[in-house]
């Protein structure tokens, strides 16, 4: 591995993480890929070049070095390849430009590199969504982007199913409080009430209300 964090395979150059400069690495050459190992740990995977004298440079491999020298980022070949591959999007560029206006070129570029490091443990789409949200809010720090990226990830994470859902049953969203109380009551051992006495009363006839008596009115 050379001092540019690159290895040469069949006259083509492939990047490896900058922290491993000077280390001896092992390369497996496949039909369409080049896979690089440090001992047994995979450290790089590139699409294999079919021409001679080309290069495959992963911007992520250089981020630790760029944190120390952020001025090297604007003209880096790895940045150009990241743009061409769609990994470094116009949203990244817009946030970078705004950060440089707000903090100066050096601090703004260093903040961008810290944002790029988020891609190592968050999905590309969530980080881009976080950058876009932070840009709309005028939040030009890597911490703000990380927060917005986590919020974007949470919005896409479905709620864990409860026991009823796991068993294929869907619980009713509304439960009657009266029904719940009745269900909790112990069984009533008393017999059902009888209405026979009321039937006997209904068999007796009564004078109609308001009909005058045959003996005349009691009024003078």
Looking at every residue in the chain, the average pLDDT score rounds to: 84
H/E run at residue 36: strand 33-38
Q: Using an 8 Å Cβ cutoff, are 82 and 128 in contact?
A: no
Nearest 5°: the CA angle 204, 209, 213 is 95
Q: Does the pLDDT at position 48 exceed 80? A: yes
Given pLDDT bands bounded at 50, 70 and 90, which one contains residue 1? confident
What would the pLDDT profile of 75-91 be if each residue is shown by its tens digit?
999 999 999 999 999 99
Is the pTM here over 0.75, yes or no?
Answer: no
**Sequence-distant (≥ 6) Cβ neighbours of residue 38 within 8 angstroms:** 20, 23, 25, 26
Q: Does the pLDDT at position 112 exceed 80? A: yes
Q: Which of 37, 18, 16, 40 is nearest to 28 (CA)?
A: 37
Residue of higher predicted confidence among 187 and 168: 187
Q: Extract long-range pairs of 192-198: CB within 8 Å, 24+ residues apart.
A: none
Gap between the Cα atoms of 189 and 21, Å rounded? 86
Q: Using an 8 Å Cβ cutoff, are 42 and 2 in contact?
A: no
Gap between the Cα atoms of 28 and 9, Å rounded? 10
Given pLDDT bands bounded at 50, 70 and 90, which one contains residue 23? confident
Q: Does the pLDDT at position 167 exceed 60? A: no
Residue of higher predicted confidence among 95 and 218: 95
pLDDT recorded at residue 156 = 84
pLDDT recorded at residue 101 = 98
Q: Does the pLDDT at position 219 exceed 70? A: no
Given pLDDT bands bounded at 50, 70 and 90, which one contains residue 217? very low
pLDDT recorded at residue 2 = 81
Q: Distances in Å between the alpha carbon of 6 and those of 38, 78, 79, 81? A: 14, 12, 15, 15
pLDDT recorded at residue 176 = 54
H/E run at residue 200: helix 196-203
H/E run at residue 63: helix 63-68
Alpha-helix runs per DSSP H in 104-195: 105-117, 124-137, 142-156, 163-166, 177-184
Give percent of the chain above pLDDT 70: 71
Q: Does the pLDDT at position 212 exceed 80? A: no
């Amino acid at each position: 591995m050379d001092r540019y964090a690159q290895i040469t395979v069949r006259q083509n150059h492939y990047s490896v993480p900058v922290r491993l400069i000077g280390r001896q690495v092992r390369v497996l050459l496949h039909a369409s890929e080049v896979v690089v190992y440090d001992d047994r740990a995979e450290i790089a995977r590139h699409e294999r070049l079919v021409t001679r004298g080309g290069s495959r440079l992963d911007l992520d491999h250089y981020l630790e070095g760029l944190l120390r020298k952020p001025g090297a980022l604007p003209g880096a070949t790895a940045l150009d390849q990241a743009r061409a591959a769609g990994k470094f999007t116009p949203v990244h560029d817009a946030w970078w430009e705004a950060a440089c206006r707000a903090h100066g070129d050096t601090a703004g570029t260093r903040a961008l590199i810290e944002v790029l490091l988020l891609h190592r443990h968050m999905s590309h789409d969530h980080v881009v969504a976080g950058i876009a949200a932070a840009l709309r809010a005028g939040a030009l720090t890597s911490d703000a982007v990380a927060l917005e990226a986590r919020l974007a990830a949470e919005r896409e994470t479905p709620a864990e199913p409860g026991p009823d859902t796991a068993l294929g049953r869907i619980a009713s969203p509304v439960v009657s409080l009266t029904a719940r109380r009745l269900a909790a009551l112990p069984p009533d051992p008393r017999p059902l009430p009888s209405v026979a006495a009321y039937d006997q009363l209904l068999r007796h006839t009564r004078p109609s209300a308001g009909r005058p008596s045959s003996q005349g009115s009691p009024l003078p």
